[in-house]
Amino acid sequence: MIEATANGKHPHRSGGAAHPSLSSVADAVYTLPELLVVLTMLVLITGLAAPQFLGYLGQARSQAAQVQIKNISTALELFYLHNGGYPSEQVGLSALVKAPPGVPTWRGPYLKSPEALLDPWGRPYRYRIPGRNGNFDVFTLGRDNKEGGTGEDRDLVSS
């Protein structure tokens, strides 16, 4: 709150001038060493926090891929119930979004959009029938798009 003196003038202004005094302007300015200390602290905090954040981002992508693989697997099971079989490898997972030729009992789409068939790294999920882990496999090769790997590069497969 700004208070005025008995004569109605601001206490930090001389003679009612429209500009603050030089001393009040100098008090509001930071020195170069103060700015450098603050910037150095920000850089250190960012340097320590960024790797942790990127690790969480990688884990989130892997977890998202696992959830998407389960959703695609559920859609394949529904396709099976309606059509008496799974889509062939040649037709692939696109049969969950668009009716494949020669399937008159198709009641899809079983997934809302074609983007649901892309893994978190922007590549199409792979589909194998018969699967190594069941009737079919839906899988991604992870961030590196190579078989094997650990962490974000590991392969994620339906069970």
CATH homologous superfamily for the domain 24-157: Glycoprotein, Type 4 Pilin (3.30.700.10)
Instruction: Give SS3 for 5.
Output: coil
Question: Beta partners for 157?
Answer: 139
What's the first-to-final CA gap in the chain, in angstroms?
67
Q: Is the pLDDT of residue 106 over 80?
A: yes
Task: Count CB-CB contacts under 10 A for residue 64.
Answer: 13
Of residues 159 and 154, more confidence is placed in: 154
Amino acid of residue 126: R
Give the pLDDT band of residue 13 (cuts 50, 70, 90): very low
Are the beta carbons of 79 and 87 closer than 8 angstroms? yes
Distance CA 41, CA 38 (A): 5
pLDDT range class, residue 91, cuts 50, 70, 90? very high
Average pLDDT of 62-89? 93
For the question of whether the overall pTM of this predicted structure is more than 0.85, the answer is: no
pLDDT in tens, 19-74: 556 555 556 677 888 888 888 888 777 777 666 666 666 678 888 999 999 999 99
Q: Domain coordinates of the chain in residue numbers?
A: 24-157
Give me the percent of the chain exceeding a pLDDT of 70: 76
**The pLDDT of residue 140:** 94
Query: What pLDDT shows up at residue 66?
Result: 93
Model confidence at 97: pLDDT above 90: yes
Q: What mean pLDDT value characterizes the chain? A: 82
Backbone torsions φ then ψ of 41, nearest 5 degrees: -65, -40
